[in-house]
Chains A and B, each alone.
Chain A
Amino acid sequence: MSKFQGLDAYIRRDGYELLPFKFDRLEGDDYVITNMTGEHLVVPMEELRALLSKDLAAEHPLYASLRAKHFIRYADEQAPLDLLALKLRTRLSRLAGLTSLHIFVVTLRCDHSCPYCQVSRQMDGEAFDMTPEMADKALDFVFRSPNPAIKIEFQGGEPLLNFEMVRYVVEAAKRRNLVEKRDLEFVIATTLSLLTDEVLTFCHEHDIILSTSLDGPADLHNANRPRVGRDSFERFEDGLAKARNVLGVDRVSALMTTTDKSLPRVREIIDEYVRLGFNGIFLRALSPYGFAIKTRKFMTYNTERWLEFYKEGLAYILELNKAGIPFVEHYASLILKKMLTSNDPGYVDLMNPAGAGIAAIVFNYDGSVYASDESRMLAEMGDQSFRLGNILTDSYEDIILSDVLLDALEQSFTLSAPMCSDCAFEPYCGAEPVFHHAIFKDVLGRKSESSFCKRNMTIFKHLIRLMQSDASTRRLFMQWANAC
């Protein structure tokens, strides 16, 4: 006779209690349910109804998963509440650090004239360059941030056209950091077209990362990125080889922008990234700012067409991985980190409260301070709605506590926004006040008509469907989510 009771003796019969969660329909009769920290399960409609009416039996195959992911608990259990609270704190822990990314627009001058470019491209004179006085004041601001990790990113125009200012800021920041002792990182966003040995030596000496742009094969890249000589791609490829040789392969990353010319060529674009030795690609849609609006490039394709492009690209990337070529789609990877871990990747577009100002901030060449890169792009089109102040005349407190910033953050907060507050995908999504202001002239926007909402909802559902339909894809996505 056994000394132990059978398993039946340990099954509780006192019924379960519901914990907070949200649900949304997927395809057919399936629903996705998400808890406060973004953990999710896919549940058929009948089971969801049974769950809500407390009729789901303890023997049901879903029961253990629902308890493990904190959708239900027994009334006397405290651990699920403590764990949910801990995960929630972890997920939101970035907020306490405040601003990490500080963007210095050292010049608006550029040697390219891309039709979708989001800012101006004046070539002559120094009227479009940041001055040392502005840079000093901006650095005062940077080191007021309580964040232990500070990233300074140089943007333009083409920042290498004002390389002396890049040098000035890096050296001054490092001097200050002898006392501050922050985790200080520098990035230059450059097309690589003006890369010189002098620049590379400086980048190597100061451990600077280069973030560059690659739109696909040579003909597509050159068509998207016109410059005198029509040699943007050739300069890029030459610069990439030199930069990797001096700085290391992992110190150069690339971003692409999708134009109407890119749409039928997603496989070729990805192949070009693979050929050039990149380990991933960020498939991005055009933003409704700056020259993309003025030249009507933003209107040349709709969200549905971009989503087709995205899905085709993601399917091809999965094929490559299954064929033994490790390659990541970075946007999916950011979302999967939110779906499958308790960490938030800190991607500004997918943050709530919005990342504007409190995750990233921009010091423009003219001393203006903007809530985000997109905010200064709007400003170049004459819309100063997200100008937080001037670095020469306003204090840190004036800027970071300005009504412009706080109102935008509060009014766009998704947990109190119509539609968003009930949405099961809210833990994965972002507030994006600047995008919605650009489209609706309202930081909240009408989400049922928002292409941001449509694009992200479709991608969230698509990623869940892919994980549901194929165990190997789920394993691969787990790797993407947990990659550093």
Chain B
Amino acid sequence: MAGLAELTFDSQLYGVDAIQKAAYRSMHAFTLNLKVEGGNMLCKLIGNITTEQDAFERAVEEFRKDVLDYQLRAQLHAETAPIRNLIMGLAFSNARLN
């Protein structure tokens, strides 16, 4: 029988992108049903038919870590985007790419 787990994330602390990206990364083990209710995001993780219970539980643990990682990545990305664009501009402004 396929594994099943339900997790709740506070919408004020986590973005939907972080949850979706973490779910994409775990696609080899389970798929995600995501629902927003009030201030919470409700995640139902449904194990793939081919995923054994042990592997499913490990994947759920990884998913929880991944959600936090992706949330931090989003913050880092937003904060450094202007500098990234500046570096790209410096690198290629004289590249005569046209």
Contact = CB atoms under 8 A, between A and B. Distances in A.
Given A81-B90, A89-B95, A20 B80 contact: yes
Interface string A236-279: 00000000000000000000000000000000000000000000
**B contact residues, range:** 20 to 34
A321 interface: no
Contacts of B26: 448
When A and B form their complex, which 5 residue pairs have the shortest distance between CB atoms, in order from nearest?
A85-B90, A85-B91, A20-B84, A20-B80, A448-B27
A320 interface: no
Given A36-B87, A449-B28, 8 more contacts: A18-B80, A25-B65, A85-B87, A85-B88, A89-B92, A418-B21, A446-B24, A446-B27
Interface string A9-49: 00000000111111111000000000010000000000001
Interface in B28-76: 28, 65, 69-70, 72-73, 75-76
A427 to B, nearest CB: 14
A199 interface: no
A466 interface: no
A419 B84 CA distance: 19
A56 to B, nearest CB: 14
B83 interface: yes
Interface string A61-90: 000000000000000000001101110110
B76 A18 contact: yes
A448 B25 contact: yes
19 contacts: A17-B83, A19-B83, A20-B80, A20-B83, A22-B73, A23-B69, A49-B72, A81-B86, A88-B87, A88-B91, A89-B92, A92-B91, A96-B95, A422-B73, A446-B24, A446-B27, A448-B25, A448-B27, A449-B27
Interface in B1-29: 21, 24-28
Nearest to A93: B95
Contacts of A96: 95
Contact of A448 (B24, B77, B79, B88): B24
Contact of A422 (B28, B70, B86, B87): B70
Interface of B: 21, 24-28, 65, 69-70, 72-73, 75-77, 79-81, 83-84, 86-88, 90-92, 95
Interface of A: 17-25, 36, 49, 52, 81-82, 84-86, 88-89, 92, 96, 418-419, 422, 446, 448-449
In terms of DSSP, what is the predominant structure of the interface of chain B? helix
A84 B72 CA distance: 23
Given A23-B69, A52-B72, A89 B91 contact: yes
Given A18-B76, A96-B95, A81 B70 contact: no
B76 A52 contact: yes
Contacts of B28: 448-449
Contacts of B92: 89
Nearest to B85: A20
B88 to A, nearest CB: 8
Contacts of A88: 87-88, 91
Contacts of B21: 418-419, 422
Nearest to B66: A25
B90 A23 contact: no
Contact of B87 (A17, A81, A92): A81
A61 B84 CA distance: 26
Contacts of A446: 24, 27
A271 to B, nearest CB: 36
A367 B75 CA distance: 52
Nearest to B48: A449
Nearest to B20: A418
Given A89-B92, A418-B24, A449-B28, A52 B87 contact: no
A418 B25 CA distance: 9
B27 to A, nearest CB: 4
A448 B24 CA distance: 7
Contacts of A17: 83
Given A25-B69, A422-B70, A20 B87 contact: yes
A243 to B, nearest CB: 42
A88 B87 CA distance: 9
A419 B92 CA distance: 25
Nearest to A89: B91
Give the most central of B65, B83, B95: most A CB within 10 Å: B83
A93 to B, nearest CB: 10
A90 to B, nearest CB: 9
A20 B27 CA distance: 27
